[in-house]
Amino acid sequence: MKLIETWVKASFLKGASLLLVSECAQTVYPDVYKRFVEGRVVLTGCPEAENAKMLMGKLATILTCSNINDLTVLTMEGSPHCFALHAVANETMFITKTKVPFSHFVILNGKAIQVSSESVRGARYLHLVQKCIQKCPDILEDLSSLSLEHRCSIEQK
């Protein structure tokens, strides 16, 4: 069910384990998706197609009204739109002061990798990302293996 179309007082949300998942994850990596859905109420979203502030408002209202048990976010790695879904969840947890277990996962090459809320917050501050690259320049080799945009920028130099 789409997050944006979910009634915030729906009985299935009360005390639920929520999975907020990118729209494309089920189609692109169905096996990973299946591992995450068991025992969870699944809500989908895509900040490319839906307004991120609307997603945040809806999630905040659900958290406030439904006394959820926990929240997991699962998206594609490397997508700026999917990153926005993680940022929406972080900001919503902050604004609502919700204190439940909360985790972030990204799918890379068919594997789910857990990332911290701190990683999501830190990625918003490019000067800190720059510091990390300066302290660990070999990370750019990893980036080359993942990002066509990065590889093309190197070739153009």
Higher-confidence position of 12 and 148: 12
Q: Please give the mean pLDDT across all residues of the chain.
A: 95
pLDDT tens for 88-109 read: 999 999 999 999 999 999 999 9
Strands (E), the chain: 17-22, 41-45, 70-76, 102-108, 111-115
Share of the chain above pLDDT 90, in %: 91
The three-state secondary structure class of 136 is coil
pLDDT tens for 116-154 read: 999 999 999 999 999 999 999 999 999 999 998 888 988
pLDDT at 40: 98
Are 138 and 89 part of one and the same domain?
Answer: no
Are 73 and 14 part of one and the same domain?
Answer: yes
Higher-confidence position of 51 and 30: 30
157 pLDDT more than 90: no
Are 90 and 139 part of one and the same domain?
Answer: no
Are 147 and 84 part of one and the same domain?
Answer: no
Q: Is pTM, for the whole model, over 0.75?
A: yes
Q: Binning pLDDT at 50, 70 and 90, where does residue 156 land?
A: confident
- What span, in angstroms and rounded, lies between the C-alpha atoms of 47 and 55? 8
Q: Binning pLDDT at 50, 70 and 90, where does residue 16 land?
A: very high
Number of domains present in the structure of the chain: 2
Confirm if 70 and 36 have CB atoms less than 8 A apart. Answer: no
What's the domain range around 7? Answer: 3-117
CATH of residue 107: 3.40.1360
